[in-house]
Structure 1
Amino acid sequence: MKKTILTASICAASIFTATSSFAEPTGKEKATAAGFFSGGAVIGAIAGGPIGMVIGALGSSLWHEHDKKQDEKMQVKLSQAQGDIYTLEEEVAVRDIYIQELEKATQNQLAFQITFPTGTDTLNGADVERLSALATYLKDNPKLKVRLDGHADPRGTDEYNNVLSEERALSVLTALEKRGITKERIDLYAHGSSKSQSITGDYDSYSKDRRVDIEIYSPEQNNSVALSN
């Protein structure tokens, strides 16, 4: 028993002498050494005696190395997860842009039509709001132009209907001008009742004749962007 203790003491002394022969350890090296011996003390307590301390110290070193490898694996997995999140965010952003483009394309195809009561050329509040939205769209797309076609129902003389259909188109033009759209971007036509498809005496269908059709088009492409029938 005494021989075993003596042998362990010699081993411990040898380790201490060997380590003390090196240069002064750095802060990191001190931390590693502290972990080596302090962790070994716990395991050594289980193993028992000075031999247990040596075994415990070695086990502690291996355990720290294992933890280091586990941390590296976790870092790799975290980096991969962050990369996956970034990819998903890019896909969502592209999808959102695509949806916005579809919504805008749909808006481009909306029909603009202003209707009027019998014998009037006055815009109501809802029509003014629609024209305000149209003016905003035209400002965002300065290359587009507008065509206004005024109409009247077949009641009254041709002369009266021609003047009334023009006044209706002019009321739309004036509303757009007030909202920043210049006359150079607006084409105006008055058709009176010449394009009416209503049956004589059908007052319900007459309401569809009392209107201004609004067509938005690109002069460069020579095609309509939005047309109301």
Structure 2
Amino acid sequence: MELSEFAELMTTVADSLRQQGDVDSTLALITAGAVEAIPGVTHASLSVAGKNGTIQTLTPTDEVADLADRTQYELRQGPCVEAALNAQVVQADDLGSDSRWPLYGPKAADLGLRSQLSFQFRADPLVRGALNLYADEPAAFGPDARYLGAMFANWVAVLLGWNSQGTSLSRALESRGEIGTAVGILMERYRLDQQRAFAFLVRTSQTQNVKLREIAAGIVTRTSAHAA
């Protein structure tokens, strides 16, 4: 990403934060922006922990990030679990051989993932979780990635902190399935990969100033009507 593009991304996110607008769109902008802006990152997601210890994923940039997250939740081990529940920053430079996660590491390697960097965010008292950055290469994350990743995680904390009553977060969790369906439709219709289809939804939401879940719902509704 060029410096001018990064500056534009920062401005867009900052405007979304100030306006306290659509949570879905802004969270999606953050994860998609992380892949574009942070050196080495090929996949990204957000993990949100509930009071009972359950963890759910929001706005994954693709199926690989989503599956890696869910694998960690099921095994109760891995950087995203540790960051969401305990540690501030968790980094793995070679997941397949990392002794800290003997169950998760080989499964991550099977997905083609070699490095992972997870940052805890907190929006007390209701919300905590992690920004998860994945890479297909070993030792992919240097000082720049750690610095920028922390900044993106802080954006998430600010956004969810401003929506601390929990209504917007609950809506974002509920709309995730419809967004995923819309991504699948775009992939098939335009022969896009998941990241590009997801980024298309985010850009459309931003340029039209329409909530991400509404853009997704419209795509799903129109596709269903044409199929009838």
- TM-score tier, shorter chain, comes to under 0.3
TM-score under structure 2 length normalisation: 0.23
TM-score under structure 1 length normalisation: 0.23
Which structure is higher in RCO with an 8 Å CA cutoff and minimum separation 6? 2
Which structure has the greater CA radius of gyration?
A: 1
Report which of the two has the higher share of helix: 1
